[in-house]
Amino acid sequence: MSTNSCNCLIHGGLKCCIGDFNCVCCNECLYWKGYEEGSEFCSNKCENIVNNKQKNLGKMEYIYFELNDRKLKINRENSQDIWIWRETKTKNPYWWRLGLCVHNGGYFVVYIGIKPMLHHRVVFYAHNQGWEIHDSSPLNSIDHRDCNKQNNNLNNLRIATHQQNTWNRKNTKGYCWNKWSKKWNALIRVNGKQRHLGYFDIEEEARLAYLTAKKIHHPDW
């Protein structure tokens, strides 16, 4: 037992007068509780309270950035919510959470100023501020790994070309009906060129041929 610990039995188990051998949560004397030196908590309840506080602090860490001459912040762990800094003549400056609208293509959109922007591109930019968010060329697309257009968590987003983005679509069949041969024609695009995979009597076989070729030519998509 530490020589710095007071004999709190005298104090009836009240707060330790020394202060260096107390629970870091409730400040209860660990000496009186019968704990060995080096303990930090008097109970599992106190340990859980402190751990939950630390988790919540981690969740509330923000990334601050600027876009369209506006100051913004985004939750580091949960990228769904974006706040914008608002200054008015009648109120003190404050953070305002931006609302989400659904684009006609199924994507979330946020208004930063008067300009609507795709939410997933703003999220990616917030975490990668060197990325050219205003470059809308086919080589600068953002792909949703799980094909869910509204899952804009950072780990679900990746830079892609327009062609790579089309590869990662659930509705990409990879085949079509050929009226001349009266068979199913399986196709895949590789390096910008369309490759013929064969004609099939059964639709499922054409689909299987496409999926097999996709694993070879586009394994990550």
CATH number at residue 69: 3.90.75.20
Q: Are 157 and 142 in contact (CB under 8 A)?
A: yes
Q: What is the pLDDT of residue 6?
A: 47
88 and 161 in a common domain: yes
Tally of domains in the chain: 3
Cα 183 from Cα 76, distance rounded (Å): 51
Q: What is the pLDDT of residue 5?
A: 42
- One digit per residue, the tens of pLDDT, for the chain of length 221 reads 344 444 444 444 444 444 455 676 676 766 555 555 556 677 778 777 767 765 555 445 889 999 989 999 998 877 788 989 988 777 788 888 888 888 878 899 999 988 889 999 999 999 999 899 988 887 888 988 887 888 999 998 988 887 777 666 655 667 778 888 888 888 777 776 778 888 888 877 877 777 787 777 766 65
Domain boundary among 144, 167, 190: 167
89 and 143 in a common domain: yes
163 and 66 in a common domain: yes
179 and 128 in a common domain: no
27 and 7 in a common domain: yes
Q: What is the pLDDT of residue 87?
A: 84
Q: What is the pLDDT of residue 108?
A: 92
154 and 196 in a common domain: no
Q: What is the pLDDT of residue 172?
A: 61
